[in-house]
Amino acid sequence: MKKLFFIFNILIITTYLFAQENSDSSVPLDDVTIESIDDLFNDTSSEVNTSTEENSDRSEQPETLSVLDDLKEETGGSLTVKYAFAAGFSPGWSESPWYWENEDETFTKVVGADLTSDFIFDFQLTPRLRAYQSFSIDFPSYEFEIDSFWAEYNLSNMAFFKLGQYAESWGLSGNYNYTNLLSRLPEDGSGGDPYTFRMNLPLGLGGLQLLTMVRSGWGIDGDIENLEAGDLGYGIKYNFAYPSVDVNVGFFYQELMPLRTIVTAKTTLFDSTELFLQGLVSVPNQTDMEDAVFSGSVGLVDDFLKDKLTVNLEYFYNGEVYTVVEETDSGWTEDETSPFIKGHNTAFNLYYNTSLRNINLFSRFLYNFSSNTGKWAPGVRFKPYNDLSVYLSVPIVVGDRDGTYYSSNYDEKNRPFSVTLAITLSGSQKFAQYKKFN
């Protein structure tokens, strides 16, 4: 056990030193990076299935608190190392094809390559105490980033605590995750990484979650030492895990932000159709309920053709526009703009496993009826080997030229029409050693 604590302390020290050495040597990334290449396909595939893919490591916990694991009988640790190399070429135009006759289109091309390495340390220090840290290094910029750094404690299965730098998430939809209140921060004041203290209490059919969080740069200008109560956000969520439906009711308060309450529900129909509903009530000025606005969505996911074709449909009405906040002692007076387009929205996603081995087709389409603006990204992935993937995608914007998606779309340069060809090489290794706790 002393050896594990020693390794953990060395890890903290070396991480700090490495960050100091590289903090001033950052080089701007190319326009085509592993994130911009891979995210389109990964987002499509994950959103088609509505939920984040469960990792096989020990960091994941089920949503329902009543089924949390008992105290761990093993102690030890693991190191997971991941490497990913991406190279891509993306020609594109400043106008969609149907506007070429009346508008002067500009042709641009983007060429880039990127290498990213990820290191994940996971220690079960005692049956009750676990520590987790992950960081990444990006080349050629040599950008160092701590992705997660947290500890969790199991109080005899009566309460579960988690403290550190990590992203807690609420909500069900990957298309319009407006019910993830923990990420609903002003567009121009989102701050940096989240620091969160969370407590889960198994109660009744499900469980109660209490949390408080702050983001570096939010109200405190990145100085965590000068943290005040007004800089914190507070959340509470209760899970009702009924046999036929899973329901969550949540509430989040943050100074300078609208007061928001959510309700989400998810169930399975006919053994294969996943149905989910979400609702949000937002009070812009936090006190006057007459100004409250409602947003809601309904979606479903189903498989066809012997599970080869997955279809994801969602309708979303967004009642939020923006909220003007009063000036506070911090001097922060930015308006909050909803990251989603006001009015009636729809999403239509497809994911198809072809009969040809290792070739998958995907399509993601988002459209706003209220302003006639939409974005479509069809594509194909060829994966001849587990460590090699080839992507071809054609992101294109449809609808009015003055629509939101025409200037805010899938493309790195916000080009409304482009073609992306990318190749990724990736692999990982996990080294672990655990033993029975005496």
Domain annotation for the chain: domains and CATH numbers = 2-52+63-436 (2.40.160)
Phi, psi of 151 (to 5 degrees): -135, 145
Q: Cα–Cα distance between 32 and 260 in angstroms, integer? A: 36
Instruction: For 384, list phi and psi in degrees, rounded to 5.
Output: -70, -30
Task: Work out the average pLDDT over 85-103.
Answer: 84
pLDDT at 117 over 80: yes
Calculate mean pLDDT across residues 124-132. Answer: 94
Q: How far apart are CA 317 and CA 360, in angstroms?
A: 31
Average pLDDT over residues 218-222: 50
Tokens of 30: 């190319």
DSSP conformation class of 94: S
**Tokens, residue 374:** 């939409």
- Please give the helix or strand (H or E) that residue 147 lies within, else none: strand 143-155
Q: 352 or 30: whose pLDDT is higher?
A: 352
CB 74 within 8 A of CB 437: yes
Identify the pLDDT of residue 280. 96
* pLDDT at residue number 251: 95
The rounded distance, in Å, linking the Cα atoms of 377 and 175 is: 13
For residues 157 and 282, what is the distance between their CA atoms, to the nearest angstrom?
A: 35
Closest listed residue to residue 390, CA positions, set 432, 424, 340: 424
Separation CA 44–CA 361 (nearest Å): 10
| Residue 116 clears pLDDT 60, i.e. is over it | yes
How does pLDDT run across 317-340, given as a tens digit for each residue? 999 875 433 333 333 333 444 568
Of the two residues 92 and 332, the one the predictor is more confident about is 92
Between CA 275 and CA 312 the distance in angstroms is 10
CA distance 352 to 218: 42
pLDDT for 231 equals 76
H or E element in which residue 15 lies: helix 2-22
**Torsion angle, alpha carbons of 160, 161, 164, 167, to 10:** 50
Mean pLDDT over each residue of the chain, to the nearest integer: 77
Whether 246 shows a pLDDT value over 70: the answer reads yes
What's the whole-number mean pLDDT along residues 31-44? 38
* 3-state DSSP helix/strand/coil % of the chain, to nearest 5: 15, 50, 35
